[in-house]
Structure 1
């Protein structure tokens, strides 16, 4: 049951719409965002890792590991982050853990960010 909850949370995070970011000079046309880096590993036994970087400044990294395989407490523990460049030119990064304790995000913003600490706290619970 815990595995189902964790997998559901991971699926929600993966399917959630990401904030739109302005395109950097490398992608003058917003429709021409290029993948600069894509790395994937999957051992087929419950552990995986991937990393993605795009020309618009968007980045995503994640790794997952099966814990307590074959027991009633079997669950996937996921750690990762994604970042984007906001319309204000500031880089925003969400770092998260999703495990038997649920989805636990932390939002960070670069210098000059417009999100208040109270808003960040409300978004991350």
Structure 2
């Protein structure tokens, strides 16, 4: 009997928490007045497609110049099971006026961002490159 009461309580809590979250993003009809100014109000463009077979895509643009897009699809199962690969990007204007744009891919090998504002390491010195080549040609036992 007590497990039935717990099950019913859990179901009621689950149903109560399944409301729409449009008011938090500023994308819904009612809107969240606090976010409308900060995030640019309702989007100028919004698309969200889930094909039901694991493939999806979404994109949005706001009146303030924020934009994002992503598409993904399932990939055959690997050693860790099935995976979803995704590619996308986003852009926005930083407070200092710089336009920030980033594109990325995400797959079984991780998240791979690219963008002109992402710091890059200095080039590897010739001495280290020679050492790495020597180590490759003469593996230790």
TM-score per shorter chain, which class? 0.5 to 0.7
Query: Matched residues in 2 for 1:73 and 1:32: separation?
Result: 38
Larger radius of gyration: 2
Over the aligned positions, Cα root-mean-square deviation in angstroms equals 2.5
Q: Identify the residue that residue 120 of structure 2 maps to in structure 1.
A: 121
Q: How many residues align?
A: 85
Q: Identify the residue that residue 39 of structure 1 maps to in structure 2.
A: 47
Match of 1:51 among 33, 56, 59: 59
**Structure 1 unaligned spans of 5+:** 1-28, 110-118
What TM-score comes out, normalization by structure 2 length? 0.53
What TM-score comes out, normalization by structure 1 length? 0.59
Structure 1 stretches of at least 4 aligned residues deviating more than 6 Å after TM superposition: none
| Structure possessing the higher relative contact order (Cα contacts under 8 Å, 6 or more residues apart) | 1
In proportion to residue count, which structure has more strand? Answer: 1
- For residues 1-125 of structure 1, the aligned pairs below 5 Å read 30-31=37-38, 33-34=40-41, 35-68=43-76, 73-109=81-117, 120-121=119-120
**Structure 2 unaligned spans of 5+:** 1-35, 122-141
Query: Matched residues in 2 for 1:59 and 1:97: separation?
Result: 17
